[in-house]
Amino acid sequence: MKILLLDKNHPLITEQLLAKNFELEEDFTSTYDEVCDKIKNYDGIIIRSRIPLDQNFLENAKNLKFIARVGAGMENIDIPVAEKLGIQLINSPEGNRDSVAEHVVGMLLVLMNRLFIASQEVKNGIWKREENRGDELLGKTVGLIGYGNMGKATAKRLSGFGCKVIFHDILPNLSDEFATQVSLDELKQSAEVLSLHIPLTSETNYLIDETFISEMKNDFYFVNTARGKNVKTKSLVEALKSGKVKGACLDVLEYEKSSFEHLETENEDLKYLLESEKAMVTPHIAGWTHQSKEKLAQFIVDKIVASHC
């Protein structure tokens, strides 16, 4: 099989697939149109996020047997068209679930205990103790929306902090030793911390908006390591200003490019998030550890080999 690699990934992908007698071509620079012109020559394609695989692209891919995304989200692919054309879709959420879970906990601990703020103050000769009094995770009810690989890994970590973890998911009967499944209404009634672990779809686009936030019974901490457009930023900023959201941990932003390479918009809401002590912002790195890079790649290779060798 002839496979096109469109993005740089861990070298084990190339090494192991070549050892299995796949024919590989790397192309990290061609434009969308240039790749469209030649995609008919390949049986498989391995991607991250650089080029969208829309209907036009897929209809040009006359011989494509599979699309493998090194990562979890598949919003860069026109899934209904791919399925209609019989193209197998492969991803690797197992590879970065642990790094995402650790990032969630890390951001919450830093924000709730004012660790970064206090450290910066001390480095600048400022010694404040009462003003930097923290807020414990112990005993809090954490609500997760989405209970796939990322949600389950996060629940496992948070249960070790003595949290009560509940979750809402569109699939039934997912409760386990770490978390209990509840309705969305019950989650809104109980959660003191809210964390998103969902894909970006038409149903989850701007899921967290002014209405959703107003329906939360408690003032709450908010975490988003899923997709930026799951949240309407303006609504979140207003809730931070009012105190309804006590603090926000954001690894993803509404204003990211679809390739996640950088921000494409600057506005007053973003300026507030970047300047506020109530918000932590990281550059889409929750799933971006040294270990996850290798694990993401290995899961992709294993799935390709299992299906096409």
Catalytic residue numbers, as ranges: 227, 256, 284
Task: Answer yes or no: are the C-beta atoms of 129 and 180 closer than 8 Å.
Answer: no
Strand partners, 25: 4
Half-sphere exposure (Cβ direction) of 74: Cα atoms closer than 13 Å: 14
* Tokens describing residue 242: 């009012």
Question: Minimal CA–CA distance to 249: which of 268, 286, 276, 221?
Answer: 221
Amino acid identity of residue 97, one-letter, is R
The 3 state secondary structure assigned to 104-127 is: HHHHHHHHHCCHHHHHHHHHCCCC
What 3-state DSSP class applies to 4? strand
The CA-atom distances, in angstroms, between 185 and each of 143, 159, 171, 246, 289 are 11, 22, 16, 20, 35
Instruction: Give every CB contact of residue 147 below 8 A, 6+ residues apart in sequence.
Output: 155, 167, 168, 169, 171, 174, 179, 181, 197
Cα separation, 249 vs 270, in Å, equals: 13
Question: Minimal CA–CA distance to 210: which of 233, 191, 226?
Answer: 233
Half-sphere exposure (Cβ direction) of 46: Cα atoms closer than 13 Å: 30
